[in-house]
Structure formats: structure tokens, C-alpha cells
Structure 1
Amino acid sequence: MDLVAPVVVEPLRARRCSECHSGPLERMVLEFNAPLCLDCADLGHLVFLPRGDTALTRRAREASALWAVVVRHNRRRTRYERQGLLVEEAALAGAEAACLADAEARARRRARDAVRRDAQDVQVRETLAAEIRRLFPRCPEDRVAEVAAHASQRGSGRVGRTAAGRALERGAVTAAVRASVRHVDTDYDALLMRGVPRHQARTRVAPAIEAVLRAWRG
């Protein structure tokens, strides 16, 4: 049976409990669109655990018979984002003790994982650079390195991290090089700063981009 944790909201404006009228509330539960303080929502005995420590969060959540997710609305991104958990105090204390007991082992594992990720990143970058050189043999070496590093940055979602980029599909690799030329070798960025709409700016610089790509193809 799937568990459904209560959701606690950190309000962006001052709110008062609809039952006991306490406030302003640091955290609240919405029940039928009415704010409740944690005590009235029967969550007042829980303690806040900020997000950030994955092992501590997992252990505290697993040890807590009752826990709740704490969220706050991000106006810029127009979505609610997790801030942490509310868990039982005894569960948090036990989780902290367990994390301290194996902290050294987890640190060694993180170090090994970091070394492995770095090696993977180097391989992705070098493979992408080799394909750029093949497709654009006259591309300056510093630009090859720059494009490969930018496009393959971990967690970026850029071409080098997509399935097409990892498969070294011609269109994906060319797209990465074209993007570099657009920003470095044309006045595209200056056009955007002058308020030219993106699609119009791309149309205006397209001939200059293609000229550079033809020269690099040789």
C-alpha cells in the first residue's frame, strides 16, 4: 500500500490558524482551503529536518511513524518546491546517530563516486571533441575544447548529455557547434540585448553562422 504523507506549506504571506487563530504561521496545513497550525493539524510534535542530507533524510523518514513533506511556493518558477521534512524527534536523533556512526564509510564512497564521475565526464568530453574534429576539421582546437566542455557538462541537459549527443548523431553535434558560433562569432547576443526577438535575431545571424560552419568543414 502506497503511503501518502501530509503536506505542510511555508506561507509567503502572513496567515492565521482557522481554528485557534494563532499566527502568523511559520508552517501550516491547508484543510478545505483553510489554514491550520501544526498543533491543530496534529503535527505539532514533529521537528523540521531541512533538505540537503540525503542519508539523514532517508533514515529519519524510515524511522518516523508519522512524517510530513514541507514545501514553499516559488513564484518565479510557479511551482511548489520541497524544503524538507517534519519527522518525529526520536527518529531524527536515531538517524543522526546512525549517520555519525558510518560517516567515514559514506565519505569514502562519495569520494570513489566522484572519481568515477570525473572519469566518465572526461570520456564524454573527449569523445565529443573527437567527433567535432571529424565533422569540422578546420575548427580551431581551442573552440573544439570549448564546445565539447560546454555541451557535455554534467546535469546541464545540453547536447552532450542527451541520448542523441551521447550517440554522436551528426545533427546533435552540429547543433552544439552551431550554438557556439551563434554566441561567439556573430552579434546574436547584442541583438537580444537591443530587444530583437529571439527568432528574428536567429534569422539575421543564420548566414554568418553557415559561413563559419562551411569554413570549418573545409
Structure 2
Amino acid sequence: MDEVVFEPLKAVHCSRCRAGPLRHHIRDGGRPRCLDCAGLGELVFLPRGDAALTRRARVRSSRHAVVVRYNRRRRRHERQGLLVEAAALAGARASCLADAAARARRRDRDRVRRTAEDVRFTAAFAGEIRRLFPGIPPERALAIAAHASLRGSGRVGRSAAGRALDPDTVAVAVRAAVRHTDTDYDALLVAGVPRFEARARLAARIDAVLDGWRAPVEPAA
């Protein structure tokens, strides 16, 4: 069982050597003893908050003690940290720093990988748009693809069907882009027109744009 060290709420002095006021002490027969008199003077305090550091320091330290403080409102002692050997704490910190560096490198690799995946997916999405709508300007297809396929956006391009380049889903993304970019749909919503009514008003205009893009571009003479 762990040794328990107390963090006092008021000034406390050692009952043996009279040192104090004490930051930490043990209780021996109900009387406070400083850490030196208790044989714990070589230990250093590690505050709570870093679970990995605490776990590693505890494993490395041949002696350790739990530090608690009384919470008057809750009427109970609550853990404040751990007393461990200085060498154990230094070794634990070194291990955590090494792990942090490894995690940072892994995050960087993952970021590069995701960026490359996003570039490839956006290009594929734009290619499917151009296949379905051969008359669409290439730069417009790329802009629609980049918007619809933005990672973490929740947009249609990031749905399972969108990632699979389902033609119907790709067409939905193009229709939405036309609705927002080529019509006054957003202005109608701001003016208080219900969403479905605004879409019904603009359906013919949107269909005209899409029909024009479905027709292949005639090569220049």
C-alpha cells in the first residue's frame, strides 16, 4: 500500500525537529512529521495532471508516496500528486520527451499523407465532374471538387458515396455549387424565403446551366 503524505491547509511544524511550516508531512500517531524525519526527504514532488509521466516515474522509483490534501467542501482527502526519487522523475521525463518527439514525427508524416490523399481525391472528383459534365470549365470543376471534398467539412464529397465517386452524388455536389454560385439562392434565404420554395424557384435556371455543361465542348475549327 502506498505511503500517504499530507499537504496541510494551515501552518504545521514537525513534532520531532520543529521544522516548518511544512509543505508536506506524514502523520505518526496523529502527530506531524517532516519528510526528513520520516525518511522521505530525498523524494521530490510530482504534481498530478500528466498520467504518463506519473506512471513512468512511479515505476522507476523504488520509493514513492501519494500526496493528498483535505477538501473542506467535499469533506474528503484528494490526491495532489506523487513523491518520487529525483532520478526516477528525470528518467520518466526523458522518456516522455522522446515519446513526444516520436508522436510529433508521426503526426507530421500523417499530415503529409493526408494532404497527398486529399490532392489525389480532389483531382479524381474533378475528373468525375468533367466526365459527367464535359462542357464545364476545368477550373470550375476543380473548384467544385475542392469545396465538396474538403476533409472534415461534412459535405457530400466526404460521404461514403462521395468518396466512392458515385455519379449521382457527384452530380448533387455540382448542382449545389451552381445553386449557391450562379443564382441568388443565398439572397432568397436571407430574405426569408423557405429553403424548398427557393430551390423550386431556381430549379429551371440551375437545370439550364447543368444541361449546358452536359453538352461536350465543340473543338475549335
Which of the five TM-score ranges fits, normalised by the shorter chain?
0.5 to 0.7
Corresponding position of 1:195: 192
Q: Structure 1 residues 201, 99: closer, same or farther in 2, change over 3 A?
A: farther
Q: Which residue of 2 aligns with 1:156?
A: 153
Match of 1:132 among 116, 129, 134: 129
Equivalent position amino acid for 1:104 in 2: A
- Shift >4 Å, 4+ stretches: 60-63, 93-98
Question: Highest Rg: 1 or 2?
Answer: 2
Q: In 2 relative to 1, CA 199–113 (structure 1 residues): closer, same or farther, beyond 3 Å?
A: same
The one-letter code of the counterpart of 2:160 is A
Number of residue pairs matched by the alignment:
144
Q: Which amino acid aligns with 2:150?
A: Q
**Of 189, 201, 214, which residue of structure 1 is paired with 2:211?**
214
Q: % of aligned pairs identical?
A: 56
Change (3 A) 1:100 1:209: same
Say whether the 8 Å CA contact 1:60–1:87 is kept in structure 2.
no
Q: Which digits, 9 at most, give the CA deviation of each residue in 1:52-102, with x for residues without a partner?
A: xxxx67x47988xxxxxxxxxxxxxxxxxxxxxx986349x8987643232
The CA distance in 1 between the partners of 2:54 and 2:167, in whole Å, is 46
Is the 1:139–1:216 contact (alpha carbons within 8 Å) kept by the matching residues of 2?
yes
1: CA distance between counterparts of 2:153 and 2:106? 24
Cα offset, 1:151, TM superposition: 0.9
**CA–CA distance in structure 1, aligned partners of residues 80 and 134 of structure 2:** 62
The residue aligned with 2:24 is none
Q: Distance in 2 between matches of 1:124 and 1:155?
A: 14
1:170 is displaced (CA, Å) by: 1.1
**In the alignment, residue 212 of structure 1 is paired with which amino acid?**
V
Match of 1:68 in 2: none
Structure 2 residues not aligned, in runs of 5+ = 1-46, 57-77, 84-88, 216-221
Alignment correspondent of 2:21: none
In structure 2, relative to structure 1, the CA distance for the partners of 1:104 and 1:60 (3 Å cut) is closer
Q: Is the 8 A contact 2:54 2:82 kept in 1?
A: no
**Conserved 8 A contact 1:61-1:87:** no
Q: Distance in 2 between matches of 1:185 and 1:149?
A: 17
TM-score normalized by structure 2? 0.57
